[in-house]
Amino acid sequence: MSVSVASRRWTRSAARERKRRLVNVLMLSLTGLATLLALVPLAWILVEVVARGSSALSVEFLTQTFKPTSLGGGGIWHAMVGTAILVGLASFLAVPIGILAAFYVVAHPDSTLGLAVRFGTDVLSGLPSIVVGLFIYTILVIERGYSAWAGSLALAVLMLPVVTRTTEEMLRLVPKSLREASLGLGAPEWKASFSVMLPAALTGVMTGLMLAVARVSGETAPLLFTALGSNNLSVALDKPIAALPLTLFKYAVDPSKVRNAQAWAIALVIIVLVLVLNIGARLIATWRSRMMR
């Protein structure tokens, strides 16, 4: 009697034990599966972009400007120049402000404004880029029309939180003693910041800049209301200007097959740029953290 009860209990608990182990293995493998599954779209996009993009890519495509499809469709030189100007000018605007704001946050970490700014950068980086485009439209474009200036400003607003955040994190890693030593030697605070702290954090700031550039060089939505796009090669800052993502958008929704093929080639150019910047930033960061150790 007692033996059978005990054995029944034993079988029951053995069954439960088996179930627990089964659930354990099952759920753990599901998490691994989810990770694999996430790699599918990434690999799929990269393979398609490389396969379809490389067939339309040529030296002429990169060096010619716009031509009608009846004349072969031309190239994207004007859009590459446009994107370089937009992103370059945006970096020029965003980097100084971003670095200075990061110095403020690091110098006053617990003050109300310091906390508010840290919070603000987080929130700003989550704002839809199209809203930023509309904002620049209302303050600049309504009065003065579409221009490269407006486009760069929109991109600068999008870069600002990325630059501030990464700079802030890197400045935090700089040993306090460096700053204290320079102040102790009588250096004014700005000198301690710019000649001691900033060089020590420079690689980190560079990676932040690279990530920010990677983020905005593919941005399309804010440019619709600001830079507008153009078929001409233009370097004037007060006129509408072409940009790679805008041209990609226009060509992808174009009914012409030639344009669609060109859209893939532009996608390849943008993807290569973005990947190089991202992987480069990651490599620099890894190299730097090894040096620190």
Partner 1 sequence: MLPKLAAPRRPISSSIARALQHGDLAYQGLIALSALAILGLMVGVGVMLWIYSEPTRIAAGWSFVAETEWNPVGDIFGAAPFILGTLNTSLVALIVAFPLGLGIAIFLSELCPVQLRTLLGFVVELLAAIPSVVYGAWGIFVFIPAFVQPLGNFLMNTLGTPGRVPFLPIFQGPFFGASTLAAGLILAVMILPTISAISRDVLLAVPRAQREAALALGSTRWETIWQVVLPYGLSGILGGIILGLGRALGETMAVTMVIGNVSQISTSLLNPGYSMASVIANEWGESRTPMYASALIEIGLLLFVTSLLLNVVARLLVWSVSRRTPDAGGGRA
Stretch that binds partner 1, among 69-77, 143-151, 200-208, 267-275 (CB under 8 A): 267-275
Contacts of partner 1 in 121-150 (CB under 8 A): 121-124, 126-132, 134-135, 138-139, 142
Give the number of other CB atoms < 10 A from CB of residue 292.
Answer: 8
Three-class DSSP category at 37: helix
**Min separation Cβ 193 and partner 1, Å:** 7
Quick note: the x/- pattern for partner 1 over 55-94, rule CB under 8 A, is: ----------------------------------------
Contact characters 20-59, partner 1, x per CB under 8 A: xx-xx--xx-xxxxxx-xxx-xx-xx--xx--x-------
Q: Minimum distance from CB of 24 to partner 1 (Å)? A: 4
Q: Which is nearer to partner 1, 75 or 83 (CB)?
A: 83
Q: Classify the C-alpha dihedral 242-243-244-246 as positive or negative.
A: negative
Of the candidate spans 69-77, 80-88, 174-182, 220-228, the one that interacts with partner 1 by CB under 8 A turns out to be: 220-228
Check: CB of residue 78 under 8 Å from CB of residue 242: yes
For the CB of residue 261, give the shortest distance to partner 1 in the complex, in Å: 10
Do the beta carbons of residue 36 and residue 244 sit within 8 Å? no
Helix (H) or strand (E) holding 27: helix 2-56
For 192, residues 6+ apart whose C-beta sits below 8 A from its C-beta are 179, 182, 183
Distant-in-sequence contacts of 42-46, Cβ < 8 A, 24+ apart: 46/271
User: Which two structure tokens, joined as six digits, stand for 267?
Assistant: 């996608």
Report the residue from 71, 188, 255, 293 that binds partner 1 according to the rule CB under 8 A.
Answer: 188
Which of 84, 178, 206, 221 is close enough to bind partner 1 by CB under 8 A?
221
Q: Residue 121 Cβ, how far from partner 1 at the closest point, in Å?
A: 6
Q: Which segments of 112-147 does DSSP mark as H helices, in order?
A: 112-125, 129-136, 142-144
